[in-house]
Amino acid sequence: MESNKTFTMIKPDAVANGHIGAILDKIIGNGFKILALKYTALSAEKAGEFYSVHKERPFYKDLVSFMSSGPIIAAILEKDNAIEDYRKLIGATDPSKAEPGTIRNLFAKSIDANAVHGSDSDENAAIEGNFFFSAFERF
């Protein structure tokens, strides 16, 4: 299992608020290399599938509806210690608890509309990257 890759999405709130460029700049400026990148949208069905690990949580329905509410950016990122370093760069799930300078501190407004996704393990990074990208779409 590779430990140098993670998967991210720029969520519909951050796309709608015009933060794509600033967030990609933060990602690249913090040493992550972009291996795959696309501008797309999740249907409710696809969002439900992506977040199926959370299907028993009380916020699942809202999460699926939010994540299918507009376009997103999906990307595979590479860096040594990618999972941990990227979770540090995005900050806590609740942006009011995210460290100053983190992506969620700078660009997110609420715990549900929290600007970005970041994988929580090598295994999930691989699953999530494969969800969006074929072998012809990664470099």
Q: How far apart are CA 106 and CA 54, in angstroms?
A: 26
89 touches, from ligand IDP, Mg ion, none (C-beta below 5 to 8 Å by class): none
**Closer to ligand IDP by Cβ: residue 39 or 59:** 59
- Burial of 56 from C-beta contacts in 10 A (0-12 / 13-18 / 19+): exposed
**63 lies in the binding site for ligand IDP (CB under 6 A):** yes
93 binds, among Mg ion, ligand IDP, none (CB under 5 to 8 A by kind): ligand IDP
Beta strands, E only, the chain? 5-10, 33-40, 72-78, 116-118
Q: Of residues 30, 93, 105, 124, which one binds ligand IDP by CB under 6 A?
A: 93
Pick the stretch among 5-13, 35-43, 62-70, 116-124 that binds Mg ion (CB under 5 A): 116-124
Which residues does 80 contact at the CB level (< 8 Å), separation at least 6? Answer: 4
Site for ligand IDP in 6-45 (CB under 6 A): none
Pick the catalytic residue from 11, 79, 104, 117: 117
Please give the structure tokens belonging to residue 13. 């709130």
Is 19 among the residues known to form the active site? no
Catalytic residue IDs: 117
